[in-house]
Amino acid sequence: MLAAAGFLLLVVLLALGTPVGFSLAVVGTAGLWWIGNLDIVLGVLKTAPLSTVSSYELIAVPMFILMAEFVILSGVANSLFSAAATWVGRVPGGLAIATSLAGAGFGAISGSSTAAAATLSATSIPAMLERGYEPRLACGVVAVSGTLAMLIPPSVALVIYGIIADVDIGALLIGGIIPGIIVTFAIVATILTLIWRDPSRAQRSRAYTMREKLASLRIVGPMLVLLFSVTGVIYTGIATPTEASGIGALGAFAIALGAGRVRPALVLQAATRAGHATCMIMMIIMGAHIFGYFFTLTQTTQMLVAWVAALDVTPYLIMALIILGYLVLGCLMDQIAILILTVPILLPVIIDLGFDPVWFGVLVIITAEVGLITPPVGLNVFVVARYAKQPIGEIFAGVWPHVVAHILVIALLVALPQLVLWLPSTMR
Amino acid sequence: MREGDSGRGRRVFAVLDLTIHSVERVLRFIGACMMLAVMVIVAGDVFARYFFNAPFSWSYDLISIYLMVGIFFFFLSDTFRYHGHVAVDIVQNRLGRRARHASQFVAGAVSCVVFGLALWVGVGRAWSSYVVGEALAGAIAWPMWVALSFVPLGISLLFLRLVLATLGHAVSFALERDFAPLPPLAGTEEAP
Amino acid sequence: QQITLRVADNLPATHFLAEHGTTYFMEEVTKRTDGRVTFEYYPSQQLGKSKDMLTILQSGLADIALVVPSYMSEKLPLSGVIDLPGGTSTSCQGGKVYSELLEQDGWLAKNEFSKAGARKVFVYVNPPYEMFLASGDTPNVLDLGGAKVRSVGGALDLVVRELNGVPVRLAAPEIRESLSRGTVDGIVFPVPTVKSYKLQDLIKSGTRGAKLATVATGYMISDAAWAKLPADVQAVIEAVGDEAMQRVCAHVDKDVAATFETFEQAGITIADVSAQEQQVLQDVFAKVREDWAKGLDARGLPGSDALVAFNDVLAATN
Ligand code: NA
Ligand code: NA
């Protein structure tokens, strides 16, 4: 009952435009005061802020974000699209397919979806519009391809899930690879279907000479360096996933340095932007901690687990409801905030139902990806709208076929959990 | 609602804003340097361990006790200034400017209470740690009060900023003028 | 009247300490008080991280919490004396020594815990930490040959370095992976923890009798919560607390011996530390203990006194 009142107050504060982390802290404080007394409130406020951030595991969050900033600074991100276009531009819808491949490539070297959408917008949308692509097709592909960065390692979202759920972060990151490839295929298949239904949506691009194709391979070197500096370093055991985040950031910095793009002011700017993003995420984690103490004392989780366990239905129905809930939440809230808020509450239920926490983490990330492109709060759509100077409604219209495709992928992963779990199981 | 022409009142807010911001810029510069330091230390630690079998024994404590704490608290207030703390603006999108000032006032006021309390206990905790001389056991007796002082330092700036914003929104609401800046709505303005 | 006590710890609910100690303690106290005292149990860091457990007690968020001094060496520096290398030999001996120091007139209770506003309910001291390596060579505990060994910092770092090893700090969730792919060559752990991290399939060799460190833990009740309890309930808690400690340590000490045997049957080379090696180790440990005490003395804390008090109690149990 008290938990319900807490959630109601949370909704009110969020509706008032209170930042998510602040709202959680306020409701948690009020709830602790209501359940306990001022001493308890002060005790929590004394420990929670410091102990949330005073953590070695958490360095992967700022480091993966910093890595994304340096990847953008290096110019590698921009070259990805043109390199992909050189190779697949000739096929129907080639530039759109190149966009999704560039999105996957960017995902493999960066952990931030919004950065991916911004970078892809700047390079691929002008190229597609110039070749007479339907704007909604072009923008939809860019918005959805940007989401791949959350799923394909490195991923800030997976790291945060791993920290909250106390799940092996290495297994999570490696577990995202095959689903990342599947989602990329799903995007390509959606593009091809759209063009098959109406060929006028996309024009063929010009052909490229072998020399141009070979020249585009210059990007392979930096890409390999970046891939090795995170995924390779984890896989070979040179460093832990946590440490690999720092090596990845330094690798991206070195490539930016090699490309002659490093100026002190730009480096400082990159670190400052990464600092803002890190601070935002950690503020939500901290608010969720304070809220979590209140929520724990209401003993709602135990009741929830007991209630779900007593339900006489198949676990898959409950999983379907949970996924539906995530899709709805994704329409309203920031993805990281959703993770931090829901995972501690739902994870005991998931484990009790016999599902694997690594599999669930990857599934939640894909579901959250959908939230990045659905109205009314679809961060990637806003980013694309800003770069492409297209109406938001037009872009939302362009993403819905991809939403359908994503839901099919989610269904596939629910039916075949091995698609997620097989690769991590080969690690040792 | 009229925008712009509220003269002296706006200037007062602008001066106060810039005063706070001058401190914020110093702190965020330190925070950015700490961010780069984490990158260099982590990579250097792995390098020294892998190639020379001689990892830095101090990096784990230095990073988790000081640098991560600094990164968060030194960016806390600046991130708020740039509206970087993500909020749900689905309802805000549908409100007029005056109603948005009213809701930002409420949001600011309740946040002031929580961060005010956190500041109060944070100061006490840092001070008592300094007086007692709390330090970690180990090869290097890292003093705890340094990290503990980052907490009230960062929160005090945020608190001042929250007070300023809350007052600004109250005045904006009452006088129907934009004294305090409203957060940008996603999809309409440049995000930070 | 009806009393509800909130119990907080950082252990998974299936942990052997929770299973054999905490749960027994709560059920038994409820039974012997005819249901007057009941417990709300919050395991798995639900009410805060391990390093915050003392503050959780002080604020009243929990009434009883599992306090591990080594996680909060800045707040409970003197209690680190239990964890020093070459100390107690079994979990029960450790429990007896730590308990004695935490009795109302005990040295640690007077000099540390009474100031923190907490008192003992029941303690658990780990059996001695041993060296386990992912390689099959019989470990030479006196010369680790530059092996990278996961350490928890503090005095253990010094010990590992003295033995020509390289101490590496790793977050707990990354230990398994790091050991499996050679990021580190070995770990220093007590036997039960090797099992609870499921590391026995990764280690190939280990020591028996090295006593490189230990970690003392204890469920503490806040003075405020204690003062509110009727005298008869206090008596029940003290009695059941002693029983709970005895149950856990007896279980663990039996388990350590049995587990070493299963390790050997599984092909893990276990090297017994000889009397001669033990002698060399004692010299190394003595130096580390001395340094520990001097470090605290230099900060104006009674480190040397703590060492003397500990040695006195230890000698009485031997
Ligand atoms: Na990624
Ligand atoms: Na959305």
**Which residue in A44, A161, A294 has the most chain C C-beta atoms within 10 A of its own C-beta, making it the best mutation to test that interface?**
A44
Q: Given this model, what pLDDT does residue B192 score?
A: 33
Q: Given this model, what pLDDT does residue A329 score?
A: 82
Distance A374 CA to ligand 2 centre (A): 4
Residues from chain C that touch B53, judged by Cβ atoms under 8 A, are 146, 148, 166
Distance B90 CA to ligand 2 centre (A): 10
Alpha-carbon torsion angle A47, A53, A55, A58, nearest 10: 150
Size of interface A-C (CB pairs under 8 A): 77
* Rounded-to-integer distance, Cα A134 and Cα B70, Å: 48
Asked which of A303-307, A344-348, B21-25, B56-60 is least confident by mean pLDDT, the reply is A303-307
Q: Given this model, what pLDDT does residue B6 score?
A: 61
CA of A151, nearest ligand number: 1
Per-residue pLDDT tens digits of chain A, which is 428 residues long: 888 999 999 999 999 999 989 999 999 999 999 999 999 999 999 999 999 999 998 999 999 999 989 998 998 888 888 898 888 878 888 899 999 999 999 888 887 777 788 888 888 888 888 888 999 999 999 989 988 988 998 998 999 999 888 888 888 988 999 999 999 999 999 999 998 888 888 777 777 888 888 888 888 889 899 989 998 898 888 999 999 999 999 999 999 999 999 999 999 999 999 999 999 989 989 998 999 999 989 988 778 878 888 888 888 999 999 998 888 888 777 788 888 888 888 888 888 889 999 999 999 999 988 888 887 767 788 778 877 788 878 888 889 999 999 999 999 999 999 999 998 888 65
pLDDT band (50, 70, 90) for residue B2: very low
* Rounded-to-integer distance, Cα C275 and Cα B162, Å: 66
pLDDT in tens, B157-176: 999 999 999 999 999 999 98
Q: Given this model, what pLDDT does residue A428 score?
A: 55
Facing residue for C77 by CB, picked from B53, B61, B137: B137
Contact C189, C199 (CB under 8 A): yes
pLDDT band (50, 70, 90) for residue C290: very high
Residue B60 to chain C, least CA–CA distance (Å): 7
**Which residue in B39, B59, B153 has the most chain A C-beta atoms within 10 A of its own C-beta, making it the best mutation to test that interface?**
B39
Q: What is the 3-state secondary structure (H, E, C) of chain C?
A: CCEEEEEECCCCCCCHHHHHHHHHHHHHHHHHCCCCEEEEEECCCCCCCHHHHHHHHHHCCCCEEEECHHHHCCCCCHHHHHHCCCCCCCHHHHHHHHHHHHCCCCHHHHHHHHHHCEEEEEEEECCCCEEEECCCCCCCCCCCCCCEEEECCCHHHHHHHHCCCEEEECCHHHHHHHHHCCCCCEEEECHHHHHHCCCCCCCCEEEECCCCCCCEEEEEEEHHHHHCCCHHHHHHHHHHHHHHHHHHHHHHHHHHHHHHHHHHHCCCEEEECCHHHHHHHHHHHHHHHHHHHHHHHHCCCCHHHHHHHHHHHHHHHC
* ipTM of predicted assembly, 2 dp: 0.93
Helices (H), ranges, A155-219: 156-165, 169-175, 177-197, 210-216
CA of A71, nearest ligand number: 1
Buried b (16+ CB within 10 A) or exposed e, A154-170: bbbbbbbbbbbbebbbb
Q: Tell me the C-alpha to C-alpha distance, in Å, between residue C293 and each of A126, A341, C278.
A: 69, 45, 22
Q: Given this model, what pLDDT does residue A29 score?
A: 97
The answer, for A169 touching chain C at a CB cutoff of 8 Å, is yes
Facing residue for A43 by CB, picked from C49, C58, C178: C58
Most confident listed range (A215-224, B133-142, C142-151)? C142-151
Interface contact C74-B57, CB threshold 8 A: no
More confident residue, B7 or A259: A259
Size of interface A-B (CB pairs under 8 A): 200
Strands, sheet with C205-208, edge to edge from the N-terminal-most edge strand = C166-169, C148-151, C186-189, C130-133, C205-208, C269-272
- Is residue B124's pLDDT more than 50? yes
pLDDT in tens, C177-218: 899 889 999 999 999 999 988 899 999 999 999 999 999 999
Residue C77 to chain B, least CA–CA distance (Å): 7
Residues from chain C that touch A39, judged by Cβ atoms under 8 A, are 59-60
Q: Given this model, what pLDDT does residue B188 score?
A: 47
Query: Which of C247, C234, C246 lies closest to C29 in space, CA to CA?
Result: C234
Evaluate the omega torsion of the peptide bond into residue A126 and state whether it is cis, within 30 degrees of 0: no
Q: Given this model, what pLDDT does residue C196 score?
A: 85
Interface contact A43-C59, CB threshold 8 A: yes
* Rounded-to-integer distance, Cα C266 and Cα C200, Å: 9
Q: Given this model, what pLDDT does residue A38 score?
A: 94
The answer, for A246 touching chain B at a CB cutoff of 8 Å, is yes
- Classify residue B55 as left (phi > 0), alpha (psi -120 to 50) or beta: beta
* Rounded-to-integer distance, Cα C314 and Cα C94, Å: 9
Mean pLDDT of C67-95: 95
